[in-house]
Chain A
């Protein structure tokens, strides 16, 4: 049951990701990105990481992709046009992809993964909250500052004067 769900979700994610990079209409690519992110949220949900699944949908579908679509719609040159998703350098690109793939295969096969017998179904929200506020409070605050810097940077760039 769990394995079948995983394979279905994995197929959805991979196929939609493939569409994202091959479709010629950038609006369709963005919509496929939503399907892809939703599939990833499904993977989290099937692993009982309910909080992570909801946040994945909220942030990636609700904010990131909407902003991408919004940018596409505002940009007149992009919307409604067919765009080439390929460039003229397939050979170097292919070489890099193959070497990267080999690197992944080697590193994955050498890693000893810990196998968990059963997934705990206890709520994760409280644990995540406590961890963020105690043992991981420094990275958490650093991330906030990085985001703030990005925000101010965007405002400075967008300012007219």
Chain B
């Protein structure tokens, strides 16, 4: 009951009844694409409001209160405002690159959801190379940030773009190596496979098998999502906003939405790889739908990321690099060695 996986199958069967298979494939692709897009838009609206409320309460203020109950409609009002704004472009900007940067940024964030398992049977496409696909497709985020920083023809934007490229390239190495641990344990790259391998109660979750791997992943993922304490690509106080300083209106909104979507993406991957994905805490709690478990766990992780942001100060550029190469990278290698020993010893 209340499992959403069945609904998609039922729609597929119903369509198959009167349409040729090619059309069914096309229609189901369009439907799932629109469903994911709608879900992500709603999610981003909610997360923006949530971040404002959390930051406000952490600083002992109320945050948005006027639009709707405790300001829930604030993001919608902001969205309407952004839609009406004039779409400015600097005079000497590189027009084509400037135009495509926000689209690629949002597209990369959106494409990652091809393999995210939202619940039992709720996955757009369970690719064999699942987790590797996500790492590959999210590299386009860096490309888009570099494009935005370069095309704006603005020193701060350029600095922001370069900082983000240096940061994301550095943190991608420990991030990928931290993922290797989970892949070794599950013996598969498929997201569904990794979730299934952690079935049967919370003590089977990989966070308890390789806590070191989770630690490295979570720190590196915070940096990948450009969140404080690793938000030097934006660094409002010194770079005024980094790569997106020249963007306004809808183009700015796309960067903004992509940032929040990326925050949810890294949380969803953390949940899938280390917290059993949509598996319940105990197997007798299985009556709660799997997608509720997945969303609950992911939102807790998003909350922790927001908590980081409003607690820690930003770290310096040189400290950032030293931390990635001299601390996280050796830890990630140590994790792989430990997991390897563990698999051999406990098998």
Contact = CB atoms under 8 A, between A and B. Distances in A.
Given A69-B165, A74-B162, A58 B147 contact: no
A9 interface: no
Interface in A126-158: none
Interface string B275-304: 000000000000000000000000000000
Contacts of B139: 57-58, 61-63, 66
Interface stretch (B13-21, B68-76, B127-135, B314-322): B127-135
Interface stretch (A48-56, A82-90, A95-103, A108-116): A48-56
Nearest to A41: B136
B209 to A, nearest CB: 21
Contact of B172 (A28, A62, A67, A123): A62
B148 interface: no
Given A28-B97, A125-B189, A62 B142 contact: yes
Interface size class of A (residues with CB under 8 A): 20 to 34
A46 interface: no
Contacts of A80: 153
B185 to A, nearest CB: 15
A125 B129 contact: yes
B34 interface: no
B143 A61 contact: yes
Contacts of A79: 150
B137 interface: yes
A66 B165 contact: yes
A34 interface: yes
A63 B140 CA distance: 11
Contacts of A125: 128-129, 189
Contact of B146 (A50, A73, A123, A124): A73
B136 A62 contact: yes
A31 B94 CA distance: 13
A11 to B, nearest CB: 20
A61 B172 CA distance: 13
A124 B169 CA distance: 27
Nearest to A123: B128
B320 to A, nearest CB: 16
Nearest to A61: B139
Given A50-B128, A51-B129, A69 B140 contact: no
10 contacts: A27-B94, A50-B127, A50-B129, A51-B132, A57-B139, A62-B172, A66-B146, A73-B150, A73-B158, A124-B128
Given A55-B136, A63-B169, A66-B169, 17 more contacts: A34-B143, A51-B129, A54-B133, A57-B139, A58-B136, A61-B143, A62-B135, A62-B172, A63-B139, A66-B146, A69-B143, A73-B158, A73-B161, A74-B162, A123-B128, A124-B128, A125-B128
Ranked 6 nearest A-B pairs via Cβ: A62-B139, A57-B136, A123-B128, A58-B136, A54-B132, A54-B136
